Each structure stands twice: as C-alpha cells, then as structure tokens.
C-alpha cells in the first residue's frame, strides 16, 4: 500500500503547486480566482491576465504532470507507479492543498502526463488542437477533436489497452471536473 501511496503523494504535492495563482499574483497582482471564470488554470490566465502569463502557466502545469510520470516511468522503470503519480498530479491540480482544494480542470497537467508516456502522439495531438482552434475558435471543440485524434493515434501505434483506458479516464476526469465546477462558474 505504501508503495502506491508515495508516488500518488509526490504527484499530488507537485500538482498542488498553484501555478495560475502564483503567476497571476507575481506578474499582474491579480487573484485569478476572482476574474474570468474564476478557474485557477492556464486558460483563464491566458484569457484574463495575458498571453505570456497564460503560456507560462500552461508550461508549469504541463510539467506538473510530466515530471512525476517521467520520474517513475523512465528513471525508476516503474510504469504502474508512473500512472499512479499521474493520477496524483491531476488530483493535486484539480483539488490543490494550497488553494483550499479548488483548482483547475487539469487539462495542461494531463497533456504533460500524456507527453511523458506518449511524446509523439501528444505533440501531434497538441498540433491538431492548435490547427483546429485556429479555424474553429472554440476551445472545448478543439480539445475534444484533439483527444479523439490522440486516442486514434494510440490505437494505431498499438499502445497497450491499459494505457489507452488510463488516458481515456483522464479525459473523462476533465468532463466531470467541468460539470462539478459549472455551478460555481454560473455565479459569474
């Protein structure tokens, strides 16, 4: 049990670092929890604080997912513990210890996890997201398109079923978190 708990806690603590809050405060003296959709995530920072701060937030949130998974997967050669640390990072980002357990949707963090596990498929998926977003100008549709393409790429590259299921569960988590946060966002 403690073998599972340690990677989860490492991921959770790293995921709990409130990048959006810290960057918005440091560079613009804005509490991101009080502007836009009040979501402490990269998208809200990008839209309401600025492109530079939003990009920096995305990178840091991406690393919150990539670092623990990379650490366990490649350095310790423990793929199962890597997946557990990824779940910890997503949980930490969505329910951070340092922001009274209200965090972002974990999209950037999940992309970081995907990159650590499947770098080529993730880069293609991110590129498709950007292209689709450029033409469609709708974030959620672009994200859905990107994720569908990502799963197709995993099947094409004969990725193990457990990793495909894991990836799909992380995607579903975003939708569930979005539904949970909806009542709070409607108060805006």
CB neighbour class for 159 (10 Å; exposed up to 12, middle 13-18, buried from 19): middle
Residues sharing a CB contact under 8 Å with residue 101, sequence separation 6 or more, in sequence order = 95
Nearest to 81 by CA among 24, 172, 21, 9: 9
Q: Rounded to the nearest 10 degrees, how much is the dihedral formed by the CA atoms of 13, 14, 17, 19? A: -160
Helical H runs in 118-160? 119-136, 139-156
Quote the pLDDT of residue 185. Answer: 56
46-67 in b/e form (b: 16+ CB < 10 A) is bebbbeebbebbbebbbbbbbb
Tell me how far apart the alpha carbons of residues 67 and 19 are, in angstroms, rounded to a whole number: 15
Helices 107-117 and 51-70 pack at an angle, to 10 degrees, of 40
pLDDT at 100: 86
pTM for this model (two decimals): 0.91
Taking only the tens place, the pLDDT of each residue in 156-165 is 999 999 999 9
Res. 187: pLDDT tops 60: no
Distance CA 174, CA 171 (A): 5
pLDDT tens digits for 43-73? Answer: 999 999 999 999 999 999 999 999 999 999 9
Q: For residue 121, what are the CA distances in angstroms to 47, 124, 136, 141?
A: 27, 5, 22, 19
Q: How does pLDDT run across 109-157, given as a tens digit for each residue?
A: 999 999 999 999 999 999 999 999 999 888 889 999 999 999 999 999 9
Domain edges within the chain: 2-118
């Amino acid at each position: 049990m403690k073998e599972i708990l340690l990677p989860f806690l490492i991921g959770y603590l790293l995921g709990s670092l409130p990048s959006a809050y810290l960057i918005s405060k440091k560079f613009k003296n804005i509490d991101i929890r009080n502007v836009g959709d009040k979501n402490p995530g990269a998208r809200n920072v990008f839209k309401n604080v600025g492109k530079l701060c939003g990009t920096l937030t995305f990178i840091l949130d991406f690393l919150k997912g990539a670092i623990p998974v990379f650490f366990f997967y490649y350095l310790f050669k423990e793929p199962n513990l890597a997946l557990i640390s990824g779940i910890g990072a997503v949980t930490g980002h969505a329910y951070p210890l340092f922001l009274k357990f209200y965090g972002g949707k974990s999209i950037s963090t999940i992309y970081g996890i995907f990159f650590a596990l499947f770098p080529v498929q993730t880069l293609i998926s991110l590129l498709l997201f950007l292209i689709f977003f450029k033409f469609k100008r709708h974030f959620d549709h672009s994200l859905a398109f990107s994720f569908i393409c990502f799963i197709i790429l995993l099947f094409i590259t004969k990725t193990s079923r457990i990793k495909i299921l894991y990836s799909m569960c992380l995607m579903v988590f975003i939708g569930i978190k979005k539904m949970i946060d909806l009542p709070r966002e409607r108060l805006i």
